[in-house]
Amino acid sequence: MSSLDEVEISKTILCTYHERFLDRIASDVIIVGAGPSGLVAAYFLAKSGLKVTVLEKRLAPGGGIWGGGMAMNVAVVQDEAVPLLDEMGIRSQPRRANLHAVDAVELAAGLCWKALQAGVIVFNLTTCEDVCIRNQRLTGVVVNRTNIAGALPVDPIVFSAKAVLDATGHEAVLVQCLRRRGLLPTSVSAQEGPMHATAGEAFVVDRAGEVFPGLWLSGMSVAATLGGPRMGPIFGGMLLSGKRVAEAIAAAVSDEQDRQTTA
């Protein structure tokens, strides 16, 4: 083994991290939350050529995938999600009726791997605590290191983007920032409904989209914001919701670029 200089090891971390940080302080798309819907959205957006940054408050990305159902680490998906898994090289096994089993670790690791390989940068231990709004449009998020936010007198900083996706699951953190200031229409319901797997899965896919100019929703934050039913331990809707919102965001960012070019 070659001899190693501890200071050079530290400098390698510092240079690499801060180069990335500097590059991503302004992105095309910021995705808050690295659960299944956020990671799928990140993958498809990066594949479409956009600069995509994921901010995740925990140490490990993957959100609710790791625990499967009741801490049994198997994720279940329905038929409709299998082509997406195949596209990403994540294996699934047909089990019962229209249901397929996926190893939860393979699903979490596979979604992370594909997103990173497509060019996504993930900053973990990064908690979003607020939003930036200019001219009635969400233009960025206010972030701090996890465990510092709210605990120590340290100011956060801002990451800006053309579009921001709230993929924070049941918490719908960015939506709550708007809601508590009365910035969302009262027609936007505040409650997730009781469990109904079929209706819940359809809801998070059909209703994934923009909820406020510049702020988009995917996955469980769709149900938490718009009042859809919860669906329990089935993940196909989360994956398809991420894909659907990615297509809508990519189209919106491209339309905006065209408008600016012709203006």
In angstroms, what CA-CA distances link 180 with 131, 162, 206? 12, 23, 26
Nearer to ligand 48F, 3 or 56 (CB): 56
Q: Is residue 218 within 8 Å of 35, Cβ to Cβ?
A: no
Q: How far apart are CA 223 and CA 124, in angstroms?
A: 25
Q: Taking Cα atoms as reference points, which of 70, 72, 77, 71 lies closest to residue 36?
A: 77
**Considering Cα of 139, then 144, then 225, then 42, what sign does the dihedral take?**
positive
Nearer to ligand 48F, 32 or 131 (CB): 32
Q: Taking Cα atoms as reference points, which of 30, 252, 52 lies closest to residue 141?
A: 30
Least separation, in Å, of the C-beta of 246 and ligand 48F? 13
The interface with ligand 48F within residues 54-83 (CB under 6 A) comprises 55-58, 63-65
Nearer to ligand 48F, 36 or 156 (CB): 36
Nearer to ligand 48F, 63 or 110 (CB): 63
In angstroms, what CA-CA distances link 58 with 28, 126, 244? 23, 7, 25
Per-residue binding string, ligand 48F, 190-229, x by CB under 6 A, is -----------------------------xxx--------
Could you tell me which stretch among 29-37, 45-53, 105-113, 180-188 binds ligand 48F (CB under 6 A)? 29-37
Please report whether residue 127 would count as binding ligand 48F according to CB under 6 A: yes
Binding site for ligand 48F (CB under 6 A): 32-38, 55-58, 63-65, 127-128, 167-169, 171, 173, 219-221, 230-232, 235, 238
